[in-house]
């Protein structure tokens, strides 16, 4: 296995963190290439249980170099708080095992404030943002109105740049939203409290990566969220504000020449979705409550109950296609063990016609699920480690999904722990 990307096929929260944590044993470098502190990659290992928001999930492996690429929304406050949590659990973080791209843009203190102000203005039309400032951040990045992490290493230049941005952003804060302005003192305190702490980790990661590439080092690209939240290919406008798909990994990682040999798409054995927007296969009532409880489906970042449903074959097949997945990790199969019959959203009904194709976003709201049911297995499978030891009904379910989505399922996860995995 040479370079690989681990990406989400669905709405996010598929269990990417646990897969990166497992697979990092085979890689030299792990890079987060997009997104920001709105992620919550859950990792359970010998150090404890973590919900990683910004740190790459390879941070627990000694000898692995972890990189925050230029494509991430680098929030110094979130990052520093998270670094301290990880250090407190005995995981060493040094400029050797954690590197921050000098070309990553900084999420500035006003981005979080603007996220909350805009969601409040939208009221019942809100997007369901995690209010981590991600949308205002990426808007400003593409308007060239943010600061690069590398500017922290050039303080005189930085002060001037921040001052210009401050004058401009205060117009929006005060005149559009009627909020309090941010002051230069606020920014100085933010610089001292958070930015100073992460400075030692900032470097030209491009130089490091090009050298590593020449030496044949193995690189793992870690995505945040899933295909259906991708800015260009997801359910617009209920997407995130960056490109979560594997095709963006070379650009957002700092290694545009990287060839990705394998794209491991993570699919949950059922569906979950956080936030607003169409969710065709959504379950309600006691059926939904039972699945939510069985899978403990509450947001890693916000604690919000996740919307739940059966696996959505139409959306999953589309996710596999836009991710160009070459291998699938099916997670949380153990969660379905309580069900007599396993529900499946096999197709959609759109304008009275059944379809296998994922519709245009505006059409999704009127799509209806076409359901099928398979036999459940009704026994605990969390201790199973070999494919042939899975009950036949569970194997049939996995094989059915594989046939429908057109991609090999090479990993079946039956528990959150590192070794709760069946490799096929």
To ligand GDP, the closest distance from the beta carbon of 268 in angstroms equals: 8
* 16 touches ligand GDP (CB under 6 A): yes
Is residue 416 at the binding interface for ligand GDP, with CB under 6 A as the rule? yes
Does 413 engage in binding with ligand GDP (CB under 6 A)?
Answer: yes
Q: Which of residues 330-359 bind ligand GDP (CB under 6 A)?
A: 331-332, 334-335
Instruction: For residue 53, state whether it binds ligand GDP (rule: CB under 6 A).
Output: no
Query: In this chain, which of 267, 409, 415, 422 binds ligand GDP, going by CB under 6 A?
Result: 415
Is 32 a residue that touches ligand GDP (CB under 6 A)? no
Task: Single out the residue of 13, 75, 151, 312 in contact with ligand GDP (rule: CB under 6 A).
Answer: 13
CB of 225 to ligand GDP, least distance (A): 8
Candidates 30-38, 39-47, 122-130, 403-411; binding stretch for ligand GDP (CB under 6 A) = 39-47
Number of residues that bind ligand GDP (CB under 6 A): 23
Determine whether 111 is an active site residue. Answer: no
Q: How far is the CB of 332 from ligand GDP (least distance, A)?
A: 4
The C-alpha atoms of residue 256 and residue 71 are separated, in whole angstroms, by 11
Task: Please tell me whether residue 1 adopts helix, strand or coil conformation.
Answer: coil
295 torsion bin: left (phi>0), alpha (psi -120 to 50), beta (else): alpha
Token duo for residue 296: 């403990």
Query: Is position 14 an interface residue for ligand GDP (rule: CB under 6 A)?
Result: yes
Region from 145-153, 212-220, 358-366, 413-421 binding ligand GDP, contact rule CB under 6 A: 413-421
- Output helix, strand, coil percentages for the chain, rounded to the nearest 5: 40, 20, 40
Beta carbons of 153 and 102 less than 8 angstroms apart:
yes
Omega cis (within 30) before 373: no
- Nearer residue to ligand GDP within complex by CB, 9 or 147: 9
Cα–Cα distance, 76 to 198 (Å, whole number): 7
Of 384 and 414, CB closest to ligand GDP: 414
Active site annotation includes 41: yes
Of these residues, 21, 41, 140, 334, which one is catalytic? 41
Question: Considering the rule CB under 6 A, would residue 41 count as an interface residue with ligand GDP?
Answer: yes
Measured from the CB of residue 363, what is the shortest distance to ligand GDP in angstroms? 27
d(CA 339, CA 332): 13
* CA–CA gap between residue 173 and residue 185 (Å, rounded): 17
On whether the CB atoms of residues 324 and 260 are closer than 8 A, the answer is no
Instruction: Please say which residue, 140 or 312, places its beta carbon nearer to ligand GDP.
Output: 312
Whether omega before 175 lies within 30 degrees of 0, making that bond cis, reads: no
- With 0-12 / 13-18 / 19 or more C-beta atoms within 10 angstroms meaning exposed / middle / buried, residue 290 is middle
- What residues between 271 and 330 interact with ligand GDP by CB under 6 A? 300
Residue whose pair of structure tokens reads 């799509």 in the numeric block: 367
- Distance between CA atoms of 196 and 315, rounded to whole angstroms? 43
Burial of 370 (0-12, 13-18, 19+ CB in 10 A): middle
Interacting residue ranges for ligand GDP, rule: CB under 6 A:
8, 12-18, 39-42, 44, 300, 331-332, 334-335, 413-416, 420
Enumerate the active-site residues. 13, 41
């Amino acid at each position: 296995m040479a370079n690989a990307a681990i990406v989400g096929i669905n709405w996010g929260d598929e269990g990417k963190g646990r897969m990166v944590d497992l697979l990092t044993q085979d890689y030299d470098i792990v890079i987060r290439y997009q997104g920001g502190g709105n992620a919550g990659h859950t990792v359970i290992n010998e150090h404890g249980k973590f919900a990683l928001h910004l740190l790459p999930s390879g941070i627990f492996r000694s000898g692995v170099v972890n990189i925050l690429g230029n494509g991430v929304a680098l929030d110094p406050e979130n990052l520093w708080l998270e670094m301290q949590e990880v250090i407190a659990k005995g995981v060493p973080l040094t400029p050797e095992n954690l590197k921050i791209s000098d070309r990553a843009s900084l999420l500035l203190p006003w981005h979080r404030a603007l996220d909350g102000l805009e969601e409040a203005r939208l009221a019942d039309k809100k997007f369901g943002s995690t209010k981590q400032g991600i949308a205002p951040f990426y808007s400003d990045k593409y308007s060239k109105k943010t600061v690069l992490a590398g500017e922290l290493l050039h303080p005189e230049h930085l002060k001037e740049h921040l001052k210009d941005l401050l004058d401009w952003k205060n117009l929006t804060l005060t005149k559009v939203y009627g909020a309090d302005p941010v002051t230069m003192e606020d920014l100085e305190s933010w610089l001292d409290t958070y930015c100073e702490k992460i400075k030692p980790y900032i470097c030209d990661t491009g130089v490091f990566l090009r050298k590593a590439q020449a030496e044949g080092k193995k690189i793992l690209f870690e995505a945040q969220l899933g295909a259906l939240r991708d800015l260009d290919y997801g359910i617009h406008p209920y997407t995130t504000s960056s490109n979560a798909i594997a095709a963006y990994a070379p650009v957002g990682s700092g290694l545009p020449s990287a060839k990705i040999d394998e794209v491991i798409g993570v699919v949950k054995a059922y569906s979950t979705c956080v936030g607003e927007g169409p969710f065709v296969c959504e379950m309600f009532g006691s059926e939904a409550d039972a699945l939510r409880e069985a899978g403990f489906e509450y947001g890693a970042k916000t604690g919000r109950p996740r919307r739940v449903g059966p696996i959505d074959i139409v959306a999953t097949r589309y996710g596999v296609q836009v991710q160009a997945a070459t291998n699938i990790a099916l997670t949380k199969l153990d969660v379905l063990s309580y069900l007599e019959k396993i529900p499946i959203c096999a197709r959609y009904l759109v304008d009275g016609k059944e379809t296998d194709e994922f519709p245009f976003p505006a059409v999704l709201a009127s799509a209806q699920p076409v359901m099928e049911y398979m036999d459940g297995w009704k026994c605990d499978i969390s201790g199973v480690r070999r494919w042939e030891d899975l009950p036949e009904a569970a194997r049939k379910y996995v094989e059915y999904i594989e046939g429908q989505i057109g991609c090999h399922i090479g990993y079946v996860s039956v528990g959150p722990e590192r070794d709760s995995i069946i490799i096929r």
